[in-house]
Amino acid sequence: MYKILVVVDMQNDFISGALGSEKAREIVPRVAEKIRNFEGYVFYTRDTHEEDYARTREGRLLPIRHCIRGTKGWELCPEIDALKLEEPIDKPSFGSVELARRLMEMDAEEGVESVTLIGLCTDICVISNAFVIKTFLPEADIIVDASCCAGVTKESHDRALGAMAACQIQIDNAE
């Protein structure tokens, strides 16, 4: 059975760019260490917007241009990029249908024992992907390593962890 790590949106714009934060910068070494020590399959996601971002629903509701395909902000941060063995899954929205599809294929092949999520932002893309995965793999252990996640704010990070815990997603290393 597969053990899977999903590294969510560890991109320059979320760490040091347009939507970066001190907390996001703080988790980079822990995320890199988690990837290096993980015994299983590792997926990466990459928030991906096009030049028309300002005209999209997300762009109207979050009018901060970020993660535009091909820009420096769209790229994974160098410490994480150096560890990847395959290209990230580009996702145009918070949760990734493509990631869920690939995990379902793996589950049909050999079964998925667990999926651990880490990355950014706890309260937007981590929670969205955790719920999508939980929906498509209801019998797998879905785990979020809180020490390797950061939210938009500490309060929204904590709220997201609480919401996931209420839906039977295991929260590890919460502060």
**Residue 5 burial (CB count, 10 A):** 24
pLDDT tens profile 1-59? 999 999 999 999 999 999 999 999 999 999 999 999 999 999 999 999 999 999 999 99
Distance CA 4, CA 168 (A): 18
**Residue 102 burial (CB count, 10 A):** 15
pTM (predicted TM-score): 0.97
pLDDT tens profile 101-138? 999 999 999 999 999 999 999 999 999 999 999 999 99
Domains along the chain with CATH numbers: 2-172 (3.40.50.850)
The confidence band for 95, taking pLDDT boundaries of 50, 70 and 90, is very high
Strand ordering across the sheet containing 89-91: 89-91, 41-47, 2-8, 112-120, 141-150, 170-172
